Structure 1
């Protein structure tokens, strides 16, 4: 994956070895659980689906989807991260359902309309050329594309400059332009985490839980979506919904 902020940092062996323990221990377990819920809710039943994950990292989503019955390709720039992912897959007994590939997200090595669904988590905040990446995701998907962004009107702004890899923040208009340019039609959007991820990672789980309850209360208020630090975007390739509907109707007529 080229044109990614901090890609040297991301590929370092020591970063890969400590990635999960630093981000998804303590209060970070709340983040891990919520992100996995978001992916499963968006992709729906995945049994026997062919799914591509961009920036699969250590394979926490890749393995989860394989356990749900999907056939998954995980693409990442970091060999060290994929070593961790392959080990997770072996331990979970799903290595036969996953293929890990090192590759460039701006030039995906797959033909058009190759996957049932394509998704990326924790990727677009690092992308210097998001339009190119999203266009490639749309090209290789038969229908669904799912991804998350960090938002520019949230508390994430307050500590963004401290991050070693930098971070790109998006407005809602930014995302809509990206979707339009990629030939994608938004089908659903969810907004979450008024309190940014960095806070949860720093505190014990017992402290994080009451903050998460408060976070959800504020998030469910009229201003919640406007100040959420994370958004989950679910989209279809333009025309895919109509094509699926026609196929369903043809099948019904044949019966």
Structure 2
């Protein structure tokens, strides 16, 4: 996995949310959570595994809506941030945070209703084996996102500290087929890439987001989108 040492540093975990989801990044956080809820709802009563849960943005959100959820991540400091969030939200009795490797999930086959991984596949060295492992422990649904090869994301990809793997639609279809998953639905968004929004104030980002959304709803919107959300079924 790319950038493991960087990702597991204490100071990275402490500043992760503020650097990525403040300013214009608030729009990213809101849209990602919307995409997760679109795919998983109704949430209440479902058993969920979130792989690469980071600081628990989605983990806590889903627990607040009634899911019994396990958040797994390789970074101890990230997991501690998640535990703090869960306790502050009063949902720590619905959440378990575990340190573990996405390549060898410590669960039996068909253990969870839903398995999800957000902000994960752009760092995956062996995406086919990772997706197969997500599929193995899910009995119903696998939800994940990817950054798109033929989009504005490619223009600044080289500048990211960890780099990112970009995917074409053909590659996604091949991954799903290899993992014996069937695509139920997909959403495509952000003609302007995430990095752009993180660099500008929220008020300015809102104006750009309106334009971005208008282009995204046009006939060419999906082909220009920099990020895709995939809802696959077992």
In structure 1, the residue matched to 2:195 is 198
In structure 2, the residue matched to 1:243 is none
In structure 2, the residue matched to 1:143 is 140
Please tell me whether residue 209 in structure 1 is matched to residue 206 in structure 2. yes
Large movers: runs of 4+ above 2 Å: none
CA distance in 2 between partners of 1:46 and 1:216 (Å)? 27
In structure 1, the residue matched to 2:117 is 120
Please tell me whether residue 17 in structure 1 is matched to residue 21 in structure 2. no
- What is the aligned counterpart of 1:48 among 45, 49, 54? 45
In structure 1, the residue matched to 2:229 is 232
In structure 2, the residue matched to 1:164 is 161
CA distance in 2 between partners of 1:140 and 1:21 (Å)? 32
In structure 2, the residue matched to 1:130 is 127
- What is the aligned counterpart of 2:2 among 1, 5, 16? 5
CA distance in 2 between partners of 1:48 and 1:99 (Å)? 15
TM-superposed CA distance for 1:28, in Å, is 0.3
Structure 1 regions of 5+ residues with no counterpart? Answer: 238-255
CA distance in 2 between partners of 1:189 and 1:46 (Å)? 18
User: How many residue pairs end up in the alignment?
Assistant: 234
Structure 2 regions of 5+ residues with no counterpart? Answer: none
- What is the aligned counterpart of 1:35 among 22, 32, 35? 32
In structure 1, the residue matched to 2:56 is 59
In structure 2, the residue matched to 1:186 is 183
Larger-gyration structure (1/2): 1
TM-superposed CA distance for 1:12, in Å, is 0.9
Please tell me whether residue 154 in structure 1 is matched to residue 145 in structure 2. no
In structure 2, the residue matched to 1:253 is none
- What is the aligned counterpart of 2:103 among 91, 106, 126? 106
TM-superposed CA distance for 1:48, in Å, is 1.2
TM-score normalised by L of structure 1: 0.91
Please tell me whether residue 86 in structure 1 is matched to residue 83 in structure 2. yes
SS in 1 for 2:104: coil
CA distance in 1 between partners of 2:231 and 2:199 (Å)? 30
CA distance in 1 between partners of 2:228 and 2:96 (Å)? 28
CA distance in 1 between partners of 2:136 and 2:230 (Å)? 17
RMSD: 0.5
TM-superposed CA distance for 1:121, in Å, is 0.4
Larger % of helix: which? 1
